[in-house]
Structure 1
Amino acid sequence: MDWLDFTTTITDGMAYWPDNAPVHIKRTLSMADGAAANVSEISMSVHTGTHVDAPLHFLADGTDAAQLDLSKLMGPALLVAVNSEKFISRADVEHLQLKPGSRVLFKTRNSAREWSTEPFNPDFVRVGADAAAWLQEQGVVCVGVDYLSVGDAQAHNILLGAGISVIEGLALQHAEPGEYELLCLPLKIKGVDGAPARVLARRR
């Protein structure tokens, strides 16, 4: 079975969270101008595109991106389609048959558009606090969403406080609901509250 790429492409000027740093990519050395090689630089928030939140993002004494538990980011995962207009609620998830150690990825109406190339849209579907609490109760170890944030501060605190890994900005436009093998590898950056990641998955 072929691997699918669930990673949002990083592009100059792409969508970003309003109070975060915008994305700037530029060529600093060019072979066309006589340089021996092409060299580029990039400036952006660590919460750009597809990324993983470290506990430090919302927990003052939380661990940083370099200490993320990769075992929570790799393994069987359930991709779930949710039709909620605003919040993924407890009612949207409590029918799921989850076991301790489960990983859940949510595909919502966010995936119906190429959101990364559009201006930031505050009207995105997010995980509600009641759903986050239910996922914690089930012993879920990883939650992934298809926009730049999993939810508000309360949802973040519930998930990160429980040691649940949070993947944001997934590219799920062409992914069908079902069971997958997940591979998410965030960059190992010391002292920061999140890290860009490459996310691959294949049907089980």
Structure 2
Amino acid sequence: MCDSTVPKRPGWKGWIDVPLPSISGAPLPWVDLSHPITETLSRIPFFPQPKIGRWMTYPPVNVTEIHMVVHHGTHFDAPRHFVEDGPTIDQVPLERLYGQGVIWRIDKPPRGAIVAADLERATPAIQRGDIVLIDTGWWEQVNTDSYEDHPVLTEDAAYWLIEHGAKLVGVDSSSTDLAPHYRPDDFDYPVHRTLLSHGVLIAEHMTNLTSLAGQRVEIMFLGINIVGSDGAPARVVARPFVEPS
């Protein structure tokens, strides 16, 4: 018998159609948008604390060992994170992880909702195939008690991003959805499920966005290619995009 109280989870709908990306040859420096990984970096409260230590110290060899979830620190989610039949990290096409994009400054109060109208007003305008990074300034709260009071995307904002051809959406906080301690018992991660089921990747724990906010940029997500994984830590860099002369 079908249990009508269980929400229907969307299956994999395929990658949305976007243009192939390119990176310019402009001689501009890259800005690092990723947090350095530490054991004490802000994390989702129910995730285990990472353990980073020296497994071997024997001159001339040093070997560091890391135990942590793949969603710790700056990372991106593969569709498999919330879509059971969705692609894993090693199945994400490389062209989904670099190219042009926009960084939007959107100011919201603690736990404020980022709605479709906010995205519609944001500048510069999105182009199909863009990476979209949202600067709320929350990255400055990392490692404080306020970090988990971050603004959140709404489901209508997620559909807006799909309709306008975003291929990856990144936020400067721990989640695009509500923080864990504000989620009701029946919470079903609407933003994660909506974006990932349509092949729009999600990046979280972005940092240093403000210096590039309000600009068209080119971005590279240098994530670890982990077979079968639902997410991957990433070194993310960006710089202003310069139109070729």
TM-score, shorter chain, exceeding 0.5: yes
Q: Does the CA-based 8 Å contact 1:15-1:120 persist in structure 2?
A: no
Amino acid in structure 2 at the alignment position of 1:66:
D
Match of 1:22 in 2: 49
TM-score by length of 1: 0.90
Instruction: List per-residue Cα deviations over 1:89-118 (Å, max 9, x = no partner).
Output: 1121112432321221000031233x0x33
Match of 1:155 in 2: 191
Structure 2 unaligned residues grouped into runs of 5+? 1-27, 179-188
What's the offset of the Cα at 1:17? Answer: 1.0
Match of 2:68 in 1: 44
Match of 2:32 in 1: 5
What's the offset of the Cα at 1:168? Answer: 1.2
Structure 1 unaligned residues grouped into runs of 5+? none
What's the offset of the Cα at 1:119? Answer: 5.4
How many correspondences in the alignment? 199
Q: Does the CA-based 8 Å contact 1:27-1:40 persist in structure 2?
A: yes
Amino acid in structure 2 at the alignment position of 1:112:
E
Deviating 4+ runs (over 6 angstroms): none
Q: Which moved more, 1:92-101 or 1:70-79?
A: 92-101
Computed over aligned residues only, the root mean square deviation of the Cα atoms, in angstroms, reads: 1.7
What's the offset of the Cα at 1:41? Answer: 0.7
Match of 1:167 in 2: 203
Q: Does the CA-based 8 Å contact 1:13-1:24 persist in structure 2?
A: no
Q: Does the CA-based 8 Å contact 1:87-1:128 persist in structure 2?
A: yes
In 1: Cα distance, 2:43 partner to 2:30 partner = 27
1:125 aligns with 2:151: yes
Q: Show the 5 A alignment for 1:1-204.
A: 1-31=28-58, 35-85=59-109, 86-96=112-122, 97-113=125-141, 115=142, 117-118=143-144, 121-152=147-178, 153-172=189-208, 174-177=210-213, 178-204=215-241
Amino acid in structure 2 at the alignment position of 1:21:
P
In 1: Cα distance, 2:52 partner to 2:146 partner = 18
In 2: Cα distance, 1:120 partner to 1:112 partner = 10
